[in-house]
Structure 1
Amino acid sequence: MPEDNTILTTRQGHPVRDNQSTRTVGERGPATLENYQFIEKITHFDRERIPERVVHARGAGAHGYFEAYGKIGDEPASKYTRARVLTETGVRTPMVVRFSTVAGAKESPETERDPRGFAVKFKTVDGNWDLVGNNLKVFFIRDAIKFPDMIHAFKADPVTNRQEAWRFFDFVGMHPESLHMVTHLKSPWGIPANYREMEGSGVNTYKLVNDEGEAVLCKFHWEPKQGIRNLTSAQAAEIQGKDVGHATRDLYDNIAKGNFPEWEFCVQIMPDGPNDHLSFDPLDDTKLWPVDQFPLLPCGRMVLDRAPSNFFAEVEQVAFGTGVLVDGIDFSDDKMLQGRTLSYSDTQRHRVGANYLQLPINAPREGLRAMTNQRDGQMTYVVDGGPNPNVNYEPSVLGQSLKEAPKPAKDYHQPVEGRLGRYQTSRTTDDYTQAGERYRTFQDWERDDLINNLVNDMKACPEAIQLRMVWHFWHCDPDYGTRVATGAGIDLEKAKALPPLPGRAAPGQRLEHPTYTDGTNEEPMRTAAE
């Protein structure tokens, strides 16, 4: 048979039958290490650019400290977590923060309409804790296997070397879970006035674990005490004409004046479990946890009081990873979090080197030494070993090896049960309700700027993309879709007449899983006998 050059394959030539979902244990269960297709895809993606970061290339950093209140809301923090960085008051934990834009290159302007990275490294008494998030509280996609595709679509066209609106909306139109983020991004919230007046969010869902081995789901947020301020497209263009690095200058100038920026650290908490009573999946990072149901509970504050003394050493070489957690903070089965946890550390080894954690900016706080038994690799200058340099393994009958740390009295053991497979739907396929709610919460000037930005983008797109995007916007809110269609001269009725996307349910309806060979909706579980 003739070769079909339209079929997506891996680099090994294997046909890709599902490019939308990682393999997980059940619909909401954890990802598995056997995700070969995902691992090959994401590790190649991590190596697509050198030497600057693949994403978040343009950035600014600063040093400061974190002080825990010892409480989460009105409750003792120890009720929820045994992480000492959150439970011990009167302790200043040193930290380094890097703010960034996502899609732009290293020298791109800081006025770009783009999510802002908000990455924080706590150098705690129990080792480093990295909280790697954005200024916006949701994301474009809910499964990490789509991340390379998303960034490819958002980055420059490989032919024209320009970011093209049609590429962006071609991707978004086929991934309606992106609508919530797009509604944020294309409004003034897509251009923060500066880094000081900008929110931060961990975006993903984590878990807090206490001394009893009990866990709750949580989300982390940074609320600026300077207030929040955003820019319209016109205001951003005026600033960009004078200064492409205005946000970095604003941050460093204010620190130099002693006007130290400060954020309150807040946590949202939810019982661990399926939470079937909710209309959304709390593990879906395209969804917000409504604050009227899950309030922001203050638990500490961050102050930035020192600019870097060497930008390259302390900002370019600083490396963050979502897998860098301390005891008392744990992973959830958020599919984006699980994918990021592999990708972030992998890309740092490629970008900075195998021994990137030996650099002072990335090493644990002073007084804590890494003792790993890991050896050699490019640019080694410290031996991460124990008392006997000949024994770089454990255990040893001679008693000269490193020893395991004491285990907690009661550890957390997550129950996991499910059928291994690729699941393309989360609990609900409703990707429209929260985007519509966000649209309706905007002030008039914010809504006007959103519509103006989308109208300009739609005019640069072919009709097929225009119609699909108006269909999406109209299902978020009829006024939303109508205004975009009217402004861009798009036939609203023609757009509304489109069918749902192939393989996706109509808004408000559930899409059943594909049927596997045993006639069920899931892949059969393997037994020990098999």
Structure 2
Amino acid sequence: MSNSKDEQLEHYKAYDEGKLLTTNEGLKVTDDEFTLKAGVRGPTLIEDFYFRQKMTHFDHERIPERVVHARGFAAHGHFKVYESLARYTKAKFLCDPSITTPVFTRFSTVAGSKGSADTVRDVRGFATKFYTEEGNYDLVGNNMPVFFIQDGIKFPDFIHAVKPEPHNEMPQASSAHDTFWDFVANNQETAHMIMWVMSERALPRSFRMMEGFGVHTFRLINEQGEAHFVKFHWKPLLGRQSQIWKEYQKVAGYDPDFHRRDLWENIEMGNVVEYELGLQIIPESEEFKFSFDILDATKLWPEEDVPVQIVGRLTLNRNVDNVFAETEQVAFHVGNVVPGIDFTNDPLLQGRLFSYTDTQLIRLGGPNFHELPINRSVCPFHNNFRDGFGRQTINVGQVSYNSNSLFNHTPRPATLSEGGYEHYQEKVEGRVIKARADSFKDHFSQATMFWNSMSNIEKQQIKDAFTFELSKVKSKSVQQQVITMFANVSSELVEYVSERIGITYVDKQKQAPEKQNTKASPALSVDQSPKSARTRKVAIVISDTVLSSQLQPVLDALNKEMVQYRFVGERLGNVLDQEGGEWMIQDTFFNTDPCLFDGLIIAGGLEHPQLIKPFILETYQQYKPLASLQQYEEILTQLQIADQPGVIQASSAGKKTGSKFVEAIAQQRFWNRTL
């Protein structure tokens, strides 16, 4: 069934090239330049039905954007499990390695509007729709494994707080304002998630280089009716890689579509985007063995305590044909499950089960959004749902109810042996009450664990992030509340931040060393995770002084490791080098910037030092790798950066210049430079 979704979508595609212009009804149109008028200078006539149809359609082209995750980009692909997981689940797509399941994955930011920039400090959505033979399964997650709140009833409050403030509709796509931090300080369950949002995890290098998480605790159920608790992970094969805040801000100006462009271009070039699916599994018998509640969405399961089992691979290899028809109209729902996957009593998950359907009804115009091509399941569906806006199915016959004799009591419920879905039969006892379990009340242990897990560089970035965000908060009271709150996480953190935002902080609750929380989880650090140079992008400065004999071996090394490159110079167009080679300058110093690249190679351009020097220095100050071919090394000496880490000179590297530069690209940043 690997091609069934593609074949289904093909049925709905319209190919307009080379065709005659028609109305929606197929009437051929003879003129699309002028409206029908009473005389050449007279009024437009109401009987111009084509004009009315064209303008009416235009006036109704927009649909409400998503309340959250409005800015997104998506791609098609497929998923395969490595080996059967039948010991845990009866979901067929997870039990048969021979099955290739079509998927559609959408990445997004959370807080900003559809027109905001990609590179903002924010959580990223990571939602995957599996078109399985048993129905659509949606794994709706984020690039962070925890969330801001514990109960779904608080979700509207959280979103209201992080969105632009209602009195002036500012700031856009930013959490650096009073209402957000006021919410944080007065809802201390946010502590753990805030540490993630203030870290590198909120600044991914690309969608292709960030993790994904299902966030909630779900259940897997096998054929024997045995259940296991599970958390879902997506692990990028390119490794986890991030950018830095100042770089992010510049990228938003130079290319607000940076992340979507990266995804689109790589797939167009044939660079498939791959993630491995990982599962953390806890037997039901061990539900209460941990120091935290495994149903609490503000907590993660430390990978050192509950290892991640890698079970399959997601491959994205085809871009959409139409962003509106596919990316905008796709409707994800955490409640779209298949036999073998079920919910738990996570109170945040329970709230999401309601809100997803509710929001699609208004956004997509009615109850038939499941019939849109991108949402339509690859398996047939039969029920007595009828009518409503946008109905596409033509149901034949007089019966639309159960039970009935006219259709021999069909469509009838399926038995379990026929693949019918049955919820896990969990015994639940208790009084009907609005309350929170005591096991949900520890808000700071895992926030502290996250802090303890960071490298010194990552800790500094978190300090600077808090400083930037709180410096934008106008209320001194809110600033003080936040400082007091995060004193429960790290004295080092709040001492640094309070000094820089002008808040008096006295640590009155310093714990004795033997009572301090020292638990760490190395898996949480981005800086300490494996990285790859594959598909990274570098700038190569060239001019007519470049030597092919020096540059080509470097390019060969880049090509071998699939490192992308673009030639940058003073003006666009071809240049001939000193040895007769011809090169195409694709970008200039005026339309691009080092923030858009992962490194720089100097292979020319010294005749314009006023242009190339700022380019070199900014790359250096962003801690990115640089390399220089031998005849251009003098500029590194002039700038006093020749002997710094991550600066590679052909005079010493020789034939290994290219390979050493690739190694430096994989390392990503050289934090030990002298600036």
* TM-score class normalised by the smaller sequence: 0.7 to 0.9
Aligned-partner Cα distance in 2 for 1:379–1:182: 41
**Match for residue 352 of structure 1 among 361, 364, 385:** 364
Contact 1:214 1:412 in 2 (8 A): no
**Match for residue 139 of structure 1 among 147, 154, 168:** 147
Aligned pairs for 1:214-225 (under 5 A) are 214-225=226-237
| Offset at residue 395 of structure 1 (A) | 2.5
1:450 maps onto 2:462 in alignment:
yes
Contact 1:471 1:496 in 2 (8 A): no
Structure 2 partner of 1:405 = 414
Q: Highest relative contact order (Cα 8 Å, sep 6+), 1 or 2?
A: 1
SS of the residue 2:207 aligns to? coil
Contact 2:188 2:443 in 1 (8 A): yes
Structure 1 partner of 2:658 = none
Structure 1 partner of 2:351 = 339
Aligned residues: 441
Q: Which moved more, 1:396-405 or 1:229-238?
A: 396-405
SS of the residue 1:145 aligns to? helix
Contact 2:342 2:424 in 1 (8 A): no
Structure 2 partner of 1:85 = 93
Aligned-partner Cα distance in 1 for 2:508–2:432: 37
Aligned-partner Cα distance in 2 for 1:277–1:65: 37
Structure 2 partner of 1:441 = 453
Structure 1 partner of 2:389 = 378
**Match for residue 394 of structure 1 among 387, 398, 402:** 402
Structure 1 partner of 2:618 = none
| Offset at residue 274 of structure 1 (A) | 7.6
Report the identity percentage: 40
Aligned-partner Cα distance in 1 for 2:285–2:183: 32
Contact 2:342 2:423 in 1 (8 A): no
Contact 1:95 1:121 in 2 (8 A): yes
Structure 2 partner of 1:62 = 75
CA gap of 1:425–1:93, structure 2 versus 1, over 3 A, is same
Aligned-partner Cα distance in 2 for 1:209–1:275: 15
Contact 2:89 2:223 in 1 (8 A): yes
Task: Note the alpha carbon deviations across 1:64-94, whole angstroms, 9 max, x for none.
Answer: 00001124xxxxx111100011111121100
CA gap of 1:273–1:105, structure 2 versus 1, over 3 A, is farther
SS of the residue 1:266 aligns to? strand
Contact 2:120 2:249 in 1 (8 A): no
Aligned pairs for 1:220-299 (under 5 A) are 220-272=232-284, 275-299=287-311
1:186 maps onto 2:213 in alignment:
no
SS of the residue 1:66 aligns to? strand
| Offset at residue 463 of structure 1 (A) | 2.0
**Match for residue 163 of structure 2 among 147, 155, 162:** 155
Aligned-partner Cα distance in 1 for 2:206–2:110: 15
Between Structure 1 and Structure 2, the one with more helix by share is 2
Aligned-partner Cα distance in 2 for 1:425–1:168: 26
**Match for residue 481 of structure 2 among 468, 491, 495:** 468
**Match for residue 434 of structure 2 among 406, 410, 422:** 422
Aligned-partner Cα distance in 2 for 1:411–1:285: 21
Counterpart amino acid of 2:377?
P
Contact 1:180 1:432 in 2 (8 A): yes
Structure 1 partner of 2:124 = 116
Contact 1:211 1:408 in 2 (8 A): no
Aligned-partner Cα distance in 1 for 2:488–2:423: 46
Aligned-partner Cα distance in 1 for 2:212–2:185: 27
| Offset at residue 482 of structure 1 (A) | 1.8
Task: Note the alpha carbon deviations across 1:87-135, whole angstroms, 9 max, x for none.
Answer: 1112110010000000100010000111000010000010100010100
Structure 2 partner of 1:25 = none
Structure 1 partner of 2:9 = none
Aligned-partner Cα distance in 1 for 2:348–2:184: 17
CA gap of 1:412–1:187, structure 2 versus 1, over 3 A, is closer
Using structure 2 for the length normalisation, give the TM-score: 0.63
| Offset at residue 459 of structure 1 (A) | 2.4
Q: Which moved more, 1:134-143 or 1:163-172?
A: 163-172
The Cα RMSD (Å) is 2.0
Contact 1:219 1:268 in 2 (8 A): yes
Structure 2 partner of 1:167 = 179
CA gap of 1:496–1:370, structure 2 versus 1, over 3 A, is farther
Contact 1:205 1:218 in 2 (8 A): yes
SS of the residue 1:61 aligns to? strand
1:302 maps onto 2:331 in alignment:
no
Contact 2:369 2:375 in 1 (8 A): yes
| Offset at residue 457 of structure 1 (A) | 2.1
Aligned-partner Cα distance in 2 for 1:458–1:51: 32
Using structure 1 for the length normalisation, give the TM-score: 0.80
SS of the residue 1:229 aligns to? coil
SS of the residue 1:315 aligns to? helix
| Structure of larger gyration radius | 2
1:128 maps onto 2:131 in alignment:
no
Aligned-partner Cα distance in 1 for 2:185–2:73: 33
Contact 2:81 2:96 in 1 (8 A): yes
Counterpart amino acid of 1:375?
R
Counterpart amino acid of 1:230?
S
Contact 1:212 1:411 in 2 (8 A): no
1:176 maps onto 2:188 in alignment:
yes
Task: Note the alpha carbon deviations across 1:349-395, whole angstroms, 9 max, x for none.
Answer: 11012210001100102xx2221210000111213x5xx62111123
| Offset at residue 411 of structure 1 (A) | 7.4
1:103 maps onto 2:111 in alignment:
yes
| Offset at residue 408 of structure 1 (A) | 4.4
Gaps of 5+ in 2: 1-61, 510-515, 518-675
Task: Note the alpha carbon deviations across 1:19-64, whole angstroms, 9 max, x for none.
Answer: xxxxxxxxxxxxxxxxxxxxxxxxxxxxxx9610000000001000
**Match for residue 489 of structure 1 among 502, 527, 532:** 502
